Amino acid sequence: MEKKTIPVIGMACAGCAANVEKRLRQLEGITSANVNFAARTALVEYDPKVITPQTMKEEIAKAGYDLVINENESVEVIEKNSYRHLVKKVITSWILALLTMSISMGWFKIGNANMANQTMLIIALLNIVYCGSQFYTSTLKQLRHGTANMDTLVAMSTFISFAFSVFNTFWGENFWTSRGIDNHTYYDASVMIITFVLTGRTLEERAKKSTASAIRALMELAPKTAHLVNGSNTDDVPISTLGKGDIIEIRQGEKVPVDGKVTSSEAYIDESMITGEPTPVLKTLGDKVFAGTMVKQGKLRFRAEEVGTGTMLAQIIKMVQEAQGSKAPVQRVVDKIALVFVPVVLCLSVLTFILWYAIGGETQLPHAILSAVSVLVIACPCALGLATPTALMVGIGKAARKNILIKDATALENIRKVDALVIDKTGTLTIPNKNIDFTQADNLSLDERETLKPHAREAMGTLQKEGIEVYMMSGDKDEAARYWAEKAGIRHYRSKVLPQDKEDMVKKLQAEGHHVAMVGDGINDTQALAAADVSIAMGKGTDIAMDVAQVTLMGTDLRRIPDAIKLSRSTVSMIKQNLFWAFIYNVICIPLAAGLPFLFGAHWQITPMWASALMAFSSISVVLNSLRLKLIHD
C-alpha cells in the first residue's frame, strides 16, 4: 500500500471536497481518501497494483476536478496563474458591477427606462460570460453526475435573477402593469452576486496562503543548487540531479542540500530546524549532516546518502502535509453535512418560493422569486467546510515551527484531553554521560553519571500546574530513580521497570479513567507508546519509537510537551468557535433571506445582492479567525 498527498484543482466549497472524496473512495484499490478543502489536497492510501494516480486523475476529471500527479508540474505555479486570472475577473466584475449600479440607481442616465434595462442586460451578460462562466460550467458537470456544490447555488441564483430581469425588460410592462404590480429588473443583483462571490474567493485564497505558510517555510529550507565535486573542480548543479554517493561541498553561510556523511574538513552547523537547539554543532569526519541545516563557520565536503524524498527534511515536510491533510473526528461529521447541504438548500429555496406564492399569488411572485434567490445565495457551505481544516492547518503548522511534529489531526485533537503523563527517564528526562568510564561507575556520583535535560524541571512543573500528573518510569535502581524524580520535581516514580511494566502503568492509569500520554525514546518504550492514548517520542530517539508515536519532539526541549497540549486546546477551541459561527450564520441568515421579517410586519429582507456579500464575509471570517492561532502561545 502507498500513501500520497495529491493536490486537487477546481474545488470551490466543502461540497466539492466531499464529492471528490466520495468519488475517490468508490474507486477500486483505494483504501482511504481524505480531501482537505482548505489545503486543496487529497491524502490517498491505495494499492499501486490495482490503481494508479493517472486512473484517479481521469475519474476525478469526469466530475469536473483535476488532480496534479505530475511531479514536474508546479502546483505553486498553477495556483499563482489561477489566482492572477481570478484577480482579473474580480477587477472586471467590479467595474461592470459599479456601472450596473450607476445605471440602476439613476446616477448615470441612459435614455429611457427601456434603454437603461437593455444596457444593463448587455453588461450583466458580459459579466456572466466572462466573470461567471466557471460557475455554469462547473454546475453542468455536477448535474451530469447527480451532484451539486456552491457553484450550483451561484449559477442558479444568477441565472434566475438574469432570466427574470430579461422577461421584465421585454414583456414585464404588459404582464405586471395589467395586474397592478410594479415592474422591476434585477440585473444589479445578478452582477453583484458574481462580484461578491469572486471577491470572497480571492480574499479566501490570500488568507489560505497564510494557513499553509508552515509548509512553504519548510520547503524553503532546502537550497535550489549544490556544489558538486568533480575531481579537482566543483560544479553548481540543481539538487534534483544529485544522487547517492555524490561528493558535495558546502561553504560558510550556505544550506546543506541533502543528507550525508562528512568526508573531509570540518564546520559548525546550525541544526536548530531539526533539534531546536540554537548552538551550532561541530561536524567532523564521519558525522552526519542534514538537508536544510546551515553552515555557520567553516567549509566541508560530504558524501550524499539520502536525496530527494529520502532526506529527513523531506520526511518532515511529508509528515506535516499528511497531518494537515488528515481529518479530526469532528470534521467527518461536518463532511456528511456538507454532502447533503447544497441539495437541502435547493429544497429550502423551492419551498420559500412556493410558500410566498401560496400566500400572495401573482402579487407576491416577484417577492417569491427574490426570496428564493436570496436563500440560494446566502446558504453557503464554504464557511462550514473551512471551519475545521483551516484551524488544523494553522495549528499543525505552528507546532512544526516549534519543532513539534504531529502525525495527524486525531492526535492534535486528543492531546488536549491528557491528564496523566508517563515518562521514561534515561534518554528522555536525562542525558547519559557518553564519556563515563564504566569500570569506575560505582565510584561516581549520580550527577557525574546522567545529566537532567535543560528545562526538564520547568516542563514537569508546567504540566503539573496544568493538572497533569507525571509518572517517571526507570529501569535504574531505586536510589537513582528517586534522586532524578526529585531533581525533576516529579512526585510519582517507579524503579527497576521492564518494558511490560511501562505498558502496565499506562493501562492501570487508563483503567482509573485517565487520558494517558506516554513519552519515550527507545525500543523499550514502544509497548507503552502503542498502548497510550497519546504517544510522544523524542526526535533523537530510535526510529521505531518515532514510527509508533503520534507526536515527535525534535530536539531535547521537554517544554514542547506542555506547548503541544496548550496548542491542542487552542486549536480545538478555535474549531468549535468556527463551527459555531458557521452554523449560527446559516440558522440566522436563511430565515432572514427567505423573508421571515415580512410575516411579522417588517418591510425589509436580505436581498440577493447583500446575501452574496454576507456569504463571502462568513467564509473570510472563519479563515481569519483560524489565523489568530498564529498569535497564541508565541
Q: For the segment 96-155, what is each residue's pLDDT rounded down to a tens digit?
A: 989 988 887 777 777 787 888 899 999 999 999 999 998 898 888 878 777 777 788 788
The backbone torsions φ and ψ at residue 100, rounded to the nearest 5 degrees and listed phi first, read -65, -45
DSSP 131: I
Cβ burial of 526 (10 Å; 0-12, 13-18, 19+) is: buried
pLDDT at 615 over 50: yes
Identify the H or E element spanning 461.
helix 456-465
C-alpha cell at 484: 532524578
Q: What is the pTM of this model?
A: 0.67
Query: Which spans in 289-328 are helix H?
Result: 312-325
Instruction: Determine the pLDDT at residue 410.
Output: 81
pLDDT at 580 over 80: yes
* Average pLDDT value for residue range 63-71: 83
Instruction: Determine the pLDDT at residue 331.
Output: 66
CB burial of 399-418 (b: ≥16 within 10 Å; e: otherwise) equals bbebbbbbbbbbbbbbbbbb
Listed range (81-90, 457-466, 541-550, 594-603) with the worst mean pLDDT: 541-550
Instruction: Determine the pLDDT at residue 438.
Output: 41
Instruction: Determine the pLDDT at residue 94.
Output: 92
Mean pLDDT of the chain: 82
Sign of the Cα torsion 288, 294, 298, 304 reads positive
pLDDT at 542 over 70: no
pLDDT at 305 over 70: yes
pLDDT at 631 over 60: yes
Q: Which residue has the higher pLDDT, 380 or 260?
A: 260
pLDDT at 181 over 90: no
Catalytic residues: 424
pLDDT at 66 over 80: yes
How many CA atoms are closer than 13 Å to the CA of 432, on its beta-carbon side?
12
Angle between helices 187-211 and 365-378 (to 10 degrees): 10
CB burial of 4-26 (b: ≥16 within 10 Å; e: otherwise) equals bbbbbebbbbbbbbbbbbebbee
* Average pLDDT value for residue range 611-625: 78
Instruction: Determine the pLDDT at residue 327.
Output: 64
**If pLDDT is split at 50, 70 and 90, which confidence band does 505 have?**
very high
Closest CA to 534 of 418, 392, 397, 407: 418
Express each pLDDT in 375-392 by its tens digit: 887 876 667 767 777 788
**Contact by Cβ (8 Å): 236, 251:** no
**If pLDDT is split at 50, 70 and 90, which confidence band does 521 have?**
confident
